[in-house]
Amino acid sequence: MTIAQETFQAPDVIFPPSDLYSDEPPLESDIHLQQIITLLESLNWLWTEKNDFYAAGNLTIYYSQNQLKSEEFRGPDFFVVLGTERKSRKSWVVWAENGQYPNVIIEIVSPSTASQDKNLKKEIYQDTFRTPNYFWFDPYNLELVGFDLVKGKYQQIAANERGHLLSEELGLYLGVNEGVLRFFTAEGELVLLPKETAKQEAQKTLQEAQKALQFQEEAQQEAQRANQAEQKAQEFQKIATQEAQRAQEFQERSERLAAKLRELNIDPDTI
């Protein structure tokens, strides 16, 4: 049991209601909204069969040691908690979740939040949340920076040869694709959104249909060539039969002529 779990599970504490509504303000722009939706949809789609995680965006995390909604709360743009029940929540209330904090946090940087994301929030996620993986992404200049918690301090994550940053907690990489922060597999494959998967399947089906049509056309062409070859063979057979008939007729005429010559006492072999 962690220190946080021990703190929130004191036997003499009377827990206040834990179904607290999120207090997060509206997102700054549709860029932030679409970015959060992309991360949520792709991870939930990839982990369709998993039921032991919780992922959310722009949702308040309440973590007051006094278990008060009015103090100590933060709303990361995107976070993932592992080893918990996958269900809908109004907010993430640490004292009602066995003292669990997010395993991964991603902040979408904007001009008004950049300083907090890179300083104050980073300190809170490091020292209080002890979140193992923290990333920030600037959708305007495409800056992506990530940190691993090593011995209680954040150490910057080095990018791989593709420019992607590993989240050891998720077993996935983060990288920029067409100006958007996306998840990637260890093999460098893009983790698709549901609509992208549907499009990919549709393209695959279309390609298979085109191949089937091409195969059918080739089969028809082969059948036509075979039919033409058969017709030619029949023509050759007909010609051969005609030639054989003419040869037979010539042979018969020759034999009749030879017989007539013999009747005239003429040896046909000497002619």
Most confident of the ranges 8-12, 101-105, 220-224, 265-269: 101-105
Domain ranges for the chain, please list them.
Answer: 3-191, 193-271
Instruction: State the CATH class of domain 3-191.
Output: alpha beta
Read off the tokens for 139: 């959708």
pLDDT digits (tens, 9 = 90+) for 140-178: 999 999 999 999 999 999 999 999 999 999 999 999 999
In order of 26, 29, 64, 101, the CA distances from 33 in angstroms are 9, 7, 27, 23
CA distance 95 to 79: 17
Q: Is 72:22 a contact under the CB 8 Å cutoff? A: no
pLDDT digits (tens, 9 = 90+) for 211-231: 877 787 787 888 888 888 888
Greater confidence (9 vs 162) lies with 162
Strand partners of residue 108: 137
Q: Which residues, including other chains, have CB under 8 Å from residue 159's CB and lie 6 or more apart? A: 165
CA distance 192 to 172: 13
User: Quick one: the chain helix, strand, coil %, rounded to 5?
Assistant: 40, 20, 40
Give me the amino acid identity at 245. Answer: Q
Mean pLDDT of the chain: 85
